[in-house]
Structure 1
Amino acid sequence: MLEFEGSSLFRHHIVCSLLTNKPVRISGIHDEDEPQGIKLAEANFLKFIDRVTSGSRIECTDNNTTLTFYPGMILGGTFSHEVPSSRCVTYIAEVAVLMLPFAKFDTKLTLLGSTQSDLDLSVDTLRTVTTRWLQLFGVDCSVRIIRRGVHPGGGGAIDLHCKAVRKLNSADATTRGRVRRIRGISFGCRVSADLSQRAATAAKGVLLNLLPDVYVVTDLDNSKRYNGESSSGYGVVLVAETTSKHCVISQETTAMPHEPPEVVGKRAAELLLDQVFEGGCVDAHHQMLVLLLMALSPDEVSTVRFAQFTTGLVSAVMLLEAYFGVSCATKEDPSLAGSELPSTTLITCVGSNTLNVWKKSG
């Protein structure tokens, strides 16, 4: 049995345990917090795991500060799940897409809750960027936004469709290319349409100084179909596409209370430009996802160009070695555009050849 301490990688430990069929014990879960133990969102995630799998066993001891997980089989199927208002629906979705390709059935999942929050990815990033990385590794996954709902009121809903596969594909994303266009969404929920429009205009005002092909649409959801507690908010999601098919960079931001929309749009544009400046093929939000997909791929070489390492990427390297027995080779690669630009890192690994036991070969 594998043993770890701390709650920083709680969801990923459970998912990796399922994918490798290795039991895991996690101790010291929020043992310095008050109250101690597993939080509401983490308990909700365990409930989701219990519904999507068969035969999994969960044991909590020491005032819920120690969790022992015995993995079962991933089933998938059609069902809905409500996420607590403390987190966004992507809290479940961004790790679910790692294991659902290895399920017995194709999955049609409806997630209910907030579609935007400061702690998690927005559903727009999940729909436009995360699914592209999954497609690169051979996973057919799509996201449809049914209605929006911002933190903390919730009330949003998305449909996540993910097809089961026999195995993933290896990937080679080393060519960065030049940014050819920028697309974006200025979303709003139960706010004036003027706020979203002004934020979009401010973002375009920064980006059009550097690139002519910039298009930011507004998506306003003021529907009253949800009868529960509602919250209002707005934000901007921007995606930079390059001349390389295997490079997509995204950044997002949400409005703080009493913050002018021009500041929100300008901040989103500057965050995107900072991410592009770093030079990797993968943005900071998706480093851990891509590295774990590399570990799940066939026993072939996968190489991806990463920018500055995030704590998530360093944590993913540890997960690869502990669960999959996969080691990564890193090589620092100076920028071709000049020494004044930051260098990038090429990460190469041979996948663990994880197979979906429910799918026949051929």
Structure 2
Amino acid sequence: MITIDGSEGEGGGQMVRNSCALSLVTGEPFRITSIRAKRSKPGLMRQHVTAVEAAAAISGSECTGLAVGSPELTFRPGRTVPGEYHFAVGTAGSTGLVLQTVLLPLALANGPSRLVLEGGTHNMLAPPFEFIERTFLPIINRMGPQVSARLVRHGFFPRGGGRIEVDITPAPLAPLDCTTRGQALGVSATALFSALPGEIAERMLARTRRDLADWPEDAFRLHQVPADQGPGIILLLEARYANITEIVSAFGQLGVTAERLAKTSAARIQGYADASAFAGPYLADQLVLPFVLASGGAFTTVKPSQHLLTAIDIARTFTGRRIEISRESGDHLISVG
């Protein structure tokens, strides 16, 4: 059995999610101790429990220590069974993070699956739905499996109540070379808001226009969501290329002005535009799993984050694959062999 110290590296829920996914594919049982030990609220959170429950539900896996606040988890994988599944995270726990846990095992199963996930679709510390749909899933689809996701209802932090539906047609994962972005195709800035004064969203966009002065005027838009799906606000900055779409997001927070959020987000998307790496920091974390399960491939990214380094360590532990990090023309090249 693989034993993982959950306090090492990034030390967050990513270790639990990636371990579950890799365990289901490789058949290796694992035990994680000291889960999220360095966080202000250590142990498993509700969305982590739901993610593990989802992994167990699609496979008949056995778990011990699966409870909110638990510092230790043991997971003995069963066999992934395709089908129709419905998982509710509760409040605004991230539906996207639950999807990341079960997606690849189902994408490598022996039949199609359909998922209904309820909870948060736009919440802090997790990729928003648009990132999953437009940035991450297109790469999975290029590797072989075909996955489509639909946003049925928005779920903003802290209320949640969102719903996404995902259809998965499995296929073997083929190695992919993701080292060039390709031709620039366009940009957009969207202030998505619900049950809040429109003036907040307008201020957010006004600051974004100021900081991204070279973006065309028609790139900026307001999108009001029905009030019963809020309250909440998020700024989505999108840069589209032939081979990749990068999305930078900023979620409204109490005590943080719209202008400050916009300024930070604009700096991040401008930093990506000024660089040449294929994957931004958040996408890089998520590419490790499909690339190691494809037994090959490469992608370039910006300076590796602790999340990325931890994802690489977990992938090496479960698969024994060679994953190398090197510098290439100012970028960092992650190669799997």
The TM-score, its normalising length taken from structure 2, stands at: 0.88
Q: 1:206 is aligned with what amino acid? A: D
- Is this contact kept in 1: 2:121–2:129, CA < 8 A? yes
Q: 1:308 aligns with which of 296, 303, 311?
A: 303
Please give the secondary structure, in 2, of the residue aligned with 1:73: coil
Number of the residue aligned with 1:220: 224
Aligned in 2, Cα 1:265/1:37: closer, same or farther, shift over 3 Å?
closer
Partner of 2:308: helix, strand, or coil? helix
Report the CA distance between 1:289 and its aligned residue: 1.6
Structure 2 counterpart of 1:118, from 121, 124, 134: 124
- The match for 1:154 is 160
Q: Shift of residue 59 of structure 1?
A: 2.0
Q: Does 1:238 align with 2:237?
A: yes
SS in 2 for 1:199: helix
Q: Which letter maps to 2:21? A: V
Q: Deviations over 1:63-88 (max 9, x none)?
A: 94332211011123223211122522
The 8 Å contact of residues 51 and 101 in structure 2, kept in 1 or not, is answered as: no
Deviation at 1:349, TM superposition (A): 1.8
2:41 and 2:120 map into 1 onto residues whose CA distance is 24
Return the offset for 1:131: 1.4
Note the C-alpha offset of 1:211: 4.1
Q: Which runs of 5+ in 1 are unaligned?
A: 335-342, 351-362
Identify the match of residue 91 of structure 2 among 85, 96, 100.
85
1:137 corresponds to 2:129:
no
Residues 311-356 of structure 1, C-alpha deviation per residue, up to 9 Å, x if partnerless?
A: 121112212221111112333122xxxxxxxx10222222xxxxxx
Q: Please state whether the residue corresponding to 1:53 is helix, strand or coil.
A: coil
Q: Structure 1 residues 201 and 100, CA, compared in 2 at 3 Å: closer, same or farther?
A: farther
Distance 2:27 2:250 in 1: 37
8 A Cα contact 2:89 2:117, kept in partner: yes
Paired AA for residue 348 in structure 1: S
CA RMSD of aligned residues (A): 2.6
Q: Give the superposition deviation at 1:248.
A: 2.8
User: % of aligned pairs identical?
Assistant: 18
Amino acid at match of 1:218: L
**5 Å matches for 1:250-269?**
250-257=247-254, 259-269=256-266
Whole-angstrom CA distance in 2 between matches of 1:277 and 1:29:
37
Q: Distance in 2 between matches of 1:118 and 1:61?
A: 24
C-alpha displacement of 1:281 = 0.2
Higher helix share: 2
The verdict on how the C-alpha distance between 1:94 and 1:32 changes in structure 2, with shifts beyond 3 A counting, is closer
Q: Which residue of 2 aligns with 1:349?
A: 336
Q: Distance in 2 between matches of 1:34 and 1:240?
A: 34
Q: State the TM-score, normalized to the length of structure 1.
A: 0.82
- Structure 1 residues 172 and 35: alpha-carbon distance in aligned structure 2, compared to 1, 3 A threshold: closer
Q: What letter is aligned with 1:344? A: D
Deviation at 1:39, TM superposition (A): 3.1
- The match for 1:320 is 315
CA contact (8 A) 1:181 1:213 kept: no
- Residue 204 (structure 2) pairs with residue 202 (structure 1): no
Partner SS for 2:97: helix
Encode CA deviations 1:243-279: one digit per residue, 9 max, x unaligned: xx32332211012225444443333222211233343
For 2:245 and 2:39, how far apart are their aligned partners in 1? Answer: 38
Answer whether contact 2:95 2:118 (CA < 8 A) is retained. Answer: yes
Structure 2: runs of 5+ lacking an equivalent: none
Which residue identity is paired with 2:248? Q
Counterparts in 2 of 1:136 and 1:61: CA distance versus 1, 3 Å: closer
Partner of 1:185: 190
Q: How does 1:258-297 map to 2 (within 5 A)?
A: 259-297=256-294
1:171 maps to what in 2?
176
Q: Is contact 2:93–2:160 with CA below 8 Å preserved after alignment? A: no
Q: Quick check: 1:149–1:189 contact (8 Å CA) kept in 2?
A: no
**Once the 2 structures are TM-superposed, how far is the Cα of residue 95 of structure 1 from its aligned partner?**
2.8
Mean Cα deviation higher: 307-316 or 23-32: 23-32
Deviations 1:168-196 (A, max 9, x none): 12111122446442134321122234433
